[in-house]
């Protein structure tokens, strides 16, 4: 019986094997591109099965399958559209497969006109986040590092971004797509400020010098978009000991969330004693700050970010006011609180969204001689954006935002007169912007934005358009055009609300060649026109009067950028040059002239060399700029004089060492190594002598030579 059972079982197995053999179908063919050239490594398979093969060097493939009837044969390969065809399985099937290039390949065209990206993944990146820390002249300030990019002014006496002829208020800053209403510490006359946000919070920076997306508004010249880091993966404790203060932080990481807490203290009193300052300090800069960053990742496509930071600072100094024996005291103290909550996720495979809200509160008390100015501002923005991948080459982004801005200022005169200025504005904006890639070599991005401001009771409509054409393997042309609007500034709205939006129109043409990780060359020409700028007359007590939208102007020029990370091992450098021709009539200007913050020519070079044997990086940055206009009160020509050329050579070095498994850094930098006594501008004292002539006070940097030393420890 056992022998019979064994024989029967064997017979059945042989019969089943024979059936499978006779039922198998051989599928073969050739895979080529549209030019008939064979493609190697294409994955060819029957849908929902494991039956398949890869194409060889001649594009040929062959495999067998036991499936039968009608089936779907598929072919996939990176950089090409997926191919599929229904086939009827028989003893022999032969197919000819022609793959079409995908418009979303890694080397596809990218719209870059007016945009400089700094991140670790972006193909259009010209900087990395680490560059912000290692640029010698930046001293860890995002804004200072961005000022080494073309299109910006040196502005050593200001510290804020001045972009392509635009005033400081014409650049807007966003964090994770939400507005940061106060991105700088408080600005007082003759003293430069710096950015409020630490570079370590961000893994991406996009600096738009013009022609930017319809998603953003309320900026006539430029947008700076900071993308914060995601969930921390490891626990970490850091202590920073610096020549100007200290900071401590701790990060805890869990399975789906992380929390970082930090606090810092800064005091420049020691510098005032050690170095010969150009500022007559009464109270050198002193501040404290605290930050909390929470991240929660409920699933792979979702991420919640919460960011909270606050700082309090104060300073006081004397400035000449017509008599060395009777200077005027300027003081400032205040608190700023900023919070940012955002969440992003995907509804479907091809539809994702971003929602968030940001809030800024600032209370600043400024003393100007015997007068006091108390300014309180609240700004809250809510925003959402939806991104649809409508097809392989079409992406549609649309969304809306609402910003509430409350402003209140009390001007208390020593003589007992008080002035109060206040307003309440609700700004509502909507936008829609498709990006269409016709091929991997041609893409366009039309957009439309519209806004309504309640304080001026006006609507605006701003069409925008960008196009990019790939002209070679590593070369492309980009162009952009757009209209941009901005609500008048608080200093105007507190006095008069019967005004209109200020307007600008951008025209940009850009050429880029090279590989961002090796060598990159970029040249960009631009032209901007300004309309309806706010003009006014000088009223009593320095308050503007007769405010009207009668100002106008233009700005045109070109920027050149070159970066080389390959020619010399361990050596990385970039060179920028900018030329600008600009004039405008706005504010109190009696005629159209070049503004006092403009240098026609600006040249910058940054170099860094990594010495691997001693884990040390040596850095150098040099900036030179032609003289800036200034107004000589005793002259008949407004802004008819020029300062001498500005130059600055800065050096730094960073030494990396380890405490256990954690790296730490010893850092040292020296700004203006050569000690050039740069005169950045001239400011009139405001008091005439016995002959009716006004004297001018030269404006210089606080310290002729700034030395910074820091020890950054991680545990």
- Other Cβ atoms less than 10 A from the Cβ of 52: the count is 17
Q: Is the pLDDT of residue 305 over 90?
A: yes
Does residue 170 contact residue 222 with C-beta atoms inside 8 Å?
A: yes
- b/e map of 518-555 (b: 16 or more CB within 10 Å)? eebbbbbebbbebbbbbbbeeeeeeebeebebebbbbb
Q: Is the pLDDT of residue 114 over 70?
A: no
Q: Sort 623 into a burial class: Cβ within 10 Å, 0-12 / 13-18 / 19+.
A: buried
Question: φ, ψ for residue 177 (rounded to 5)?
Answer: 80, 0
Question: φ, ψ for residue 672 (rounded to 5)?
Answer: 55, 60
Q: Is the pLDDT of residue 124 over 50?
A: no
Structure tokens at 202: 């961000």
Q: How confident is residue 125, by pLDDT bands cut at 50, 70 and 90? A: very low
The whole-number average pLDDT for the span 241-261 is: 92
The whole-number average pLDDT for the span 354-359 is: 96
pLDDT at position 7 is: 42
What's the distance, CA 378 to chain centroid?
Answer: 24
Does residue 587 contact residue 536 with C-beta atoms inside 8 Å?
A: yes
Q: Whole-angstrom Cα distance, residue 155 to residue 147? A: 9
Q: Report DSSP letters for 214-232, one per residue.
A: TT--S-SSEEEEEEE----
> Can you give the residue ranges of every domain in the chain?
19-98, 115-230+243-714
Q: How confident is residue 217, by pLDDT bands cut at 50, 70 and 90? A: very high
pLDDT at position 270 is: 81
Q: What is the 3-state secondary structure (H, E, C) of 328-388?
A: EEEEEEEEEEEEEEEEEEEEECCEEEEEEEEEEEEEEEEEECCEEEEEEEEEEEEEEEEEE
Structure tokens at 109: 């065209």
Q: Determine whether domain 115-230+243-714 maps to CATH 3.40.140.10.
A: no
42-45-50 Cα angle (round to 5): 125
Q: Whole-angstrom Cα distance, residue 340 to residue 4? A: 80
Q: Whole-angstrom Cα distance, residue 325 to residue 405? A: 42
Q: How far is CA 579 from CA 155, 268, 482, 576, in A?
A: 15, 36, 22, 10
pLDDT at position 22 is: 45
Q: Tokens 């880091």, residue?
A: 229
Please state, for a pLDDT cut of 70, what percent of the chain lies above it: 90
Q: How far is CA 207 from CA 463, 596, 646, in A?
A: 21, 24, 24
Give the list of residues 6+ apart from residue 252 with CB closer than 8 angstroms, or none.
235, 258, 259, 260
160-163-164 Cα angle (round to 5): 155
Q: Tokens 């006006």, residue?
A: 458
pLDDT at position 121 is: 39
Question: Which residue, 321, 334, 394, is CA-closest to 361?
Answer: 334
Question: Which residue, 248, 255, 165, 174, is CA-closest to 210?
Answer: 165
pLDDT at position 12 is: 37
Name residue 406's beta-bridge partners: 378, 424
Structure tokens at 63: 């495999």
Q: Determine whether domain 19-98 maps to CATH 2.30.30.30.
A: no
Q: How confident is residue 686, by pLDDT bands cut at 50, 70 and 90? A: low
Least confidently predicted of 16-20, 168-172, 460-464: 16-20
pTM of the model: 0.83
Q: Report DSSP letters for 21-43, one per residue.
A: HHH-EEEEEEEE-TTS-B-TT-E
The whole-number average pLDDT for the span 359-366 is: 95
Does residue 130 contact residue 186 with C-beta atoms inside 8 Å?
A: no
Q: Is the pLDDT of residue 403 over 80?
A: yes
Q: Is the pLDDT of residue 120 over 50?
A: no
The whole-number average pLDDT for the span 401-415 is: 91
Does residue 386 contact residue 397 with C-beta atoms inside 8 Å?
A: yes
Q: How confident is residue 2, by pLDDT bands cut at 50, 70 and 90? A: very low
Q: Whole-angstrom Cα distance, residue 294 to residue 157? A: 36
Q: Whole-angstrom Cα distance, residue 211 to residue 151? A: 13
- Other Cβ atoms less than 10 A from the Cβ of 687: the count is 13
Q: Is the pLDDT of residue 5 over 50?
A: no
Question: Which residue, 360, 366, 343, is CA-closest to 197?
Answer: 360
pLDDT at position 325 is: 61
pLDDT at position 271 is: 78
Q: How confident is residue 698, by pLDDT bands cut at 50, 70 and 90? A: confident
The whole-number average pLDDT for the span 559-569 is: 91
Q: Is the pLDDT of residue 541 over 80?
A: no
Q: Report DSSP letters for 427-454, one per residue.
A: EEEEEEEEEEEEETTEEEEEEEEEEEET
Least confidently predicted of 114-118, 411-415, 709-713: 114-118
Question: Which residue, 190, 61, 15, 109, is CA-closest to 512?
Answer: 109
56-61 CB contacts, 8 Å cutoff, 24+ apart: 58/30, 59/30, 59/31, 59/32, 60/28, 60/29, 60/30, 61/28, 61/29, 61/30, 61/31
Q: Whole-angstrom Cα distance, residue 136 to residue 621? A: 6
Q: Which residue has the higher pLDDT, 124 or 100?
A: 100
Query: Mean pLDDT for the chain?
Result: 86
Question: DSSP alpha helices (H): ranges in 101-256?
Answer: 129-134, 142-146
Q: What is the three-class DSSP state of 154?
A: coil
List strand residue ranges (DSSP E) for 473-518, in order.
475-486, 502-514
Question: Which residue, 478, 563, 559, is CA-closest to 512?
Answer: 478
Q: Tokens 């971004």, residue?
A: 161
Checking phi first, is residue 672 left (phi over 0); if not, alpha (psi -120 to 50) or beta? left
């Amino acid at each position: 019986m056992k022998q019979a059972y064994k024989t029967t079982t064997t017979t059945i197995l042989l019969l089943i094997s024979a059936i499978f053999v006779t039922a198998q179908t051989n599928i073969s063919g050739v895979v080529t591109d549209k030019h008939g050239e064979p493609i190697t490594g294409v994955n060819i398979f029957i849908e929902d099965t494991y039956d398949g093969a890869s194409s060889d060097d001649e594009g040929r493939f062959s495999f067998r399958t036991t499936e039968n009837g009608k089936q779907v044969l598929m072919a996939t390969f990176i950089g090409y559209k997926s191919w599929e065809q229904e086939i009827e399985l028989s003893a022999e099937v032969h197919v000819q497969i022609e793959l079409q290039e995908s418009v979303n390949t890694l080397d596809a065209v990218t719209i870059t006109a007016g945009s400089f990206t700094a991140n670790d993944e972006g193909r259009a990146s010209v900087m990395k986040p680490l560059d912000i820390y290692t640029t010698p002249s930046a001293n860890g300030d995002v804004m200072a590092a961005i000022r080494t990019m073309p299109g910006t002014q040196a502005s050593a006496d200001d510290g804020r971004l001045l972009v392509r002829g635009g005033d400081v208020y014409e650049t807007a800053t966003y964090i994770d797509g939400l507005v940061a209403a106060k991105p700088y510490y408080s600005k007082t006359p003759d003293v430069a400020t710096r950015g409020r946000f630490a570079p370590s919070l961000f893994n991406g920076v996009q600096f738009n010098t013009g022609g930017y997306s319809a998603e953003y508004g309320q900026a006539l010249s430029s947008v700076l978009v900071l993308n914060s880091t995601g969930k921390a993966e490891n626990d970490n404790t850091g202590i920073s000991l610096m020549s100007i203060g200290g900071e401590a932080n701790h990060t805890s990481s869990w399975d789906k969330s992380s929390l970082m807490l930090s606090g810092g203290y800064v005091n420049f009193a020691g510098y005032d004693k050690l170095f010969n300052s150009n500022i007559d300090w009464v109270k050198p800069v002193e501040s404290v700050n605290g930050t909390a960053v929470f991240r929660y990742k409920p699933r792979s496509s979702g991420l919640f970010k919460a960011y909270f930071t606050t700082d309090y600072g104060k300073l006081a100094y004397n400035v000449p006011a017509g008599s060395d024996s009777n200077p005027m005291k300027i003081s400032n103290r205040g608190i700023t609180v900023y919070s940012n909550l955002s969440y992003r996720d995907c509804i479907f495979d091809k539809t994702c969204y971003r929602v968030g809200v940001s809030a800024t509160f600032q209370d600043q008390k400024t003393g100007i001689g015997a007068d006091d100015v108390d300014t309180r501002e609240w700004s809250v923005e809510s925003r959402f954006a939806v991104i649809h991948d409508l097809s392989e080459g079409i992406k549609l982004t649309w969304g809306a935002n609402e910003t509430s801005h409350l402003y209140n200022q009390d001007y208390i005169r020593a003589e007992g007169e008080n002035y109060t200025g206040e307003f309440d504005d609700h700004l509502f904006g909507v936008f829609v912007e498709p990006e269409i890639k016709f091929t991997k070599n041609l893409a366009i991005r039309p957009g439309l934005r519209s806004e309504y401001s309640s304080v001026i009771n006006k609507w605006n409509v701003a069409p925008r358009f960008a196009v990019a054409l790939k002209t070679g393997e590593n070369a492309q042309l980009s162009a952009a055009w757009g209209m941009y609007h901005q609500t008048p500034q608080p200093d105007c709205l507190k006095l008069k609300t019967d005004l209109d939006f200020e307007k600008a129109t951008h025209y940009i043409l850009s050429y880029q060649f090279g590989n961002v990780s090796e060598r990159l060359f970029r040249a960009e020409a631009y032209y901007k026109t300004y309309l309806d700028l706010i003009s006014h007359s000088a009223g009593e007590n320095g308050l503007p009067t007769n405010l009207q939208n009668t100002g106008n102007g233009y700005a045109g020029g070109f920027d050149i950028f070159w970066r080389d990370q390959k020619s010399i091992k361990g050596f990385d450098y970039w060179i920028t040059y900018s030329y600008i021709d600009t004039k405008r009539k706005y504010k109190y200007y009696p005629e159209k002239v070049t503004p006092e913050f403009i240098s026609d020519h600006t040249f910058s070079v940054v170099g860094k060399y990594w010495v691997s044997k001693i884990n040390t990086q040596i850095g150098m940055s040099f900036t030179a700029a032609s003289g800036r206009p200034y107004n000589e009160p005793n002259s008949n020509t407004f802004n008819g004089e020029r300062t001498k050329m500005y130059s600055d050579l800065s050096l730094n070095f960073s030494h990396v060492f380890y405490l256990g498994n954690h790296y730490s850094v010893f850092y040292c930098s020296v700004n203006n190594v050569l000690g050039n006594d740069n005169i950045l501008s001239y400011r009139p004292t405001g008091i005439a002598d016995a002959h009716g002539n006004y004297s001018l006070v030269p404006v210089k940097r606080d310290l002729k030579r700034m030395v910074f030393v820091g020890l950054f420890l991680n545990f």
